[in-house]
């Protein structure tokens, strides 16, 4: 061994022990998960290594959610806890920077600096490619708030190669669209994520190819209003999400496609055709309706009636008979009566969702709903939520049980809790547990379902 290599190794060892570490905590939706990965990559290019141990972190970064009050408050209680940690590390001569990213950062900006004196960087979802720059300033003692809607496209500035350096994942999220122009009266998204913006087809296809080259087999396209995606095709023609899905189905190595979250108003003919004609497009659709009463749907500014929604579901089921539906619901929107709530239960009974997410209405500052009259008392909201969830869980269980005896393909994603087990996903996004003998993560295997609970299926290979 030459001296040269010895000193290089020593340098590497010193660099490793000095390497700055970042702990990233993600709240909220899948888009935040995607954004946290991108921030991790931007920071890796800037010399930060990710750690799961918060005590080791030179930088604590919270990627936050503002959708309901509870989500936003979690951030402040976490920041309170980090105070002590920061002081403890300082006693050991180690500095800790704290950054707040995501939707609370966007919505509250300067307010965070006032409420949380230990925070030195507040960075919005549209500016996180400038995180390394903000951290430089923070290290020099400044407190930074960067929540402008950037004129440049963050995706052009984020590192691209590093995605291959990630541990191999079988599934991946891919943001195709951000923001929302629908302005549902309960929702902060148009304010936190801004107006609807679509990424270009080329950028999306390139990213899908890179993911496939890195071993990804299943891609979930993300957008707050994903089926509002629009772009231009190779010949300059206007494209919607349906066309994009046809294009992505041609990417070698990608075996499954999904997308979320959709708005009923943007389910166009071409998207139905994609469901009808693309075997790679999984038979599962998250299509929130929020409520079943036309009066409440109108007050929510959903721009469709319950009947229109049911008719749409009918058309989707004609295009893809085995499709499973998933939804979001809000109970106790201002003015919701027992009769209105009953209409939600009636709609749920008709659709029979395979999975659903339901919430008590949470008034969000700056949204029209917050200023409406006739807010529903908390205990009434809690009671309705419990009744709705009982019905949704029952339907979810029935859907799962209807899979028993069925043969299906399962994409294996990770080891199970017990030795020898592997966990994959059914086409309907259910977790499937099976004896993994002879199979490997990343493989698509043919199985028969032998048992089911509301949350997972048990399978045997055939």
How many residues make contact with ligand SF4 (CB under 6 A)? 14
Q: Does 28 engage in binding with ligand SF4 (CB under 6 A)?
A: yes
Q: Does 300 engage in binding with ligand SF4 (CB under 6 A)?
A: no
Q: Does 330 engage in binding with ligand 5AD (CB under 6 A)?
A: yes
- Position among 359, 384, 412, 427 found at the interface with ligand 5AD (CB under 6 A): 359
Where does this chain touch ligand SF4 (CB under 6 A) — which range of 43-51, 189-197, 312-320, 454-462? 189-197
* Residue (29 or 43) nearer to ligand 5AD, CB: 29
* DSSP secondary structure string for all residues of 327-355: EEEEE--TT--HHHHHHHHHHHHHH--SE
Q: CA 124, CA 112: separation in Å to the nearest integer?
A: 12
DSSP percent split of the chain into helix, strand, coil, nearest 5: 40, 25, 35
CB atoms within 10 A of CB 214: 16
CB of 180 to ligand SF4, least distance (A): 9
- Position among 64, 192, 227, 362 found at the interface with ligand 5AD (CB under 6 A): 362
Q: CA 153, CA 172: separation in Å to the nearest integer?
A: 21
Secondary structure class of 315 (helix, strand, coil): helix
With beta carbons less than 8 A apart as the criterion, state whether 291 and 300 touch.
yes
- Position among 184, 188, 211, 287 found at the interface with ligand SF4 (CB under 6 A): 188
Torsion (CA) 187, 191, 192, 193 in degrees, nearest 10: 100
Residues 232-251 touching ligand 5AD, rule: CB under 6 A, are none
Q: Does 290 engage in binding with ligand 5AD (CB under 6 A)?
A: yes
Answer yes or no: is 65 a known binding residue. Answer: yes
Answer yes or no: is 167 a known binding residue. Answer: no
Write each residue from 103 to 142 as x if it is in contact with ligand SF4 (CB under 6 A), else as -, in one continuous string: x---------------------------------------
Answer yes or no: is 103 a known binding residue. Answer: yes
With beta carbons less than 8 A apart as the criterion, state whether 381 and 360 touch.
yes
Answer yes or no: is 180 a known binding residue. Answer: yes
Answer yes or no: is 311 a known binding residue. Answer: no
Among residues 95, 146, 148, which one has the least CA distance to residue 121?
146
**How far, CA to CA in Å, does 95 sit from each of 78, 88, 100, 142?**
18, 10, 17, 14
Q: Which does 173 bind (CB under 5 to 8 A by kind): ligand 5AD, ligand SF4, none?
A: none
With beta carbons less than 8 A apart as the criterion, state whether 312 and 350 touch.
no
234 burial class (0-12, 13-18, 19+ CB within 10 angstroms)?
A: exposed
Answer yes or no: is 13 a known binding residue. Answer: no
Q: CA 313, CA 308: separation in Å to the nearest integer?
A: 9
Q: Which positions lie near ligand SF4, rule CB under 6 A? A: 28-29, 31-32, 65-67, 102-103, 188-189, 192-193, 224
Footprint of ligand 5AD on this chain (CB under 6 A)?
A: 67-68, 186-187, 288, 290, 328, 330, 359, 361-362, 364
Residue list for the binding site for [4Fe-4S] cluster? 29, 65, 103, 180, 184, 187
């Amino acid at each position: 061994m030459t001296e040269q290599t010895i000193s290089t190794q020593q340098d590497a060892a010193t660099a490793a022990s000095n390497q700055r570490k970042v702990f990233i905590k993600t709240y909220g939706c899948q888009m935040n998960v995607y954004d946290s990965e991108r921030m991790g990559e931007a920071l890796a290019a800037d010399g930060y290594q990710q750690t799961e141990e918060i005590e080791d972190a030179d930088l604590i970064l919270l990627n936050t959610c503002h959708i309901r009050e509870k989500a936003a408050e979690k951030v402040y209680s976490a920041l309170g806890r980090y105070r002590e940690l920061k002081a403890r590390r300082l006693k050991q001569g180690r500095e800790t920077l704290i950054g707040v990213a995501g939707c609370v950062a966007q919505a509250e900006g300067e307010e965070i600096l006032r409420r949380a004196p230990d925070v030195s960087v507040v960075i919005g979802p549209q500016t996180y490619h400038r995180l390394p720059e903000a951290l430089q300033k923070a290290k020099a003692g400044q407190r930074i708030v960067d929540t402008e809607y950037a004129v440049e496209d963050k995706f052009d500035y984020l590192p691209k190669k590093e995605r291959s350096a990630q541990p191999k994942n079988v599934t991946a999220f891919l943001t195709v669209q951000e923001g929302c122009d629908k302005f549902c009266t309960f929702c902060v998204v148009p304010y936190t994520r801004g107006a609807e913006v679509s990424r270009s087809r080329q950028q999306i296809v390139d990213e899908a190819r890179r993911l496939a080259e890195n071993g990804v087999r299943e891609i979930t396209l993300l957008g707050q209003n994903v089926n509002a995606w629009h772009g231009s095709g190779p010949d300059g023609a206007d494209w919607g999400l349906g066309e994009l899905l046809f294009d992505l189905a041609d990417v070698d190595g990608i075996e499954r496609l999904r997308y979320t979250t959709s708005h009923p108003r943007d389910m166009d003919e071409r998207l139905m055709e994609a469901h009808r004609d693309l075997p790679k497009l999984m038979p599962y659709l998250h299509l929130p309706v929020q409520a079943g009463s036309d009066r409440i749907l109108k007050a929510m500014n959903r721009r469709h009636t319950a009947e229109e929604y049911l008719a749409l579901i009918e058309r989707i089921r004609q295009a893809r008979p085995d499709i499973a539906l998933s939804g979001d619901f809000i109970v106790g929107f201002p003015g919701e009566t027992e009769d209105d709530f009953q209409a939600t239960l009636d709609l749920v009974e008709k659709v029979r969702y395979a999975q659903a997410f339901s919430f008590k209405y949470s008034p969000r500052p700056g949204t029209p709903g917050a200023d409406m009259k006739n807010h529903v008392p908390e205990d009434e909201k809690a009671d309705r939520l419990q009744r709705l969830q009982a019905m949704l869980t029952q339907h979810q269980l029935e859907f799962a049980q209807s899979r028993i005896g069925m043969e299906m393909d399962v994409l294996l994603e990770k080891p199970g809790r017990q030795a020898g087990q592997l966990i994959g996903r059914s086409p309907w996004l259910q977790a499937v547990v099976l004896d993994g003998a002879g199979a490997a993560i990343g493989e698509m295997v043919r199985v028969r379902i032998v048992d089911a609970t509301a949350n997972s299926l048990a399978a045997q290979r055939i």
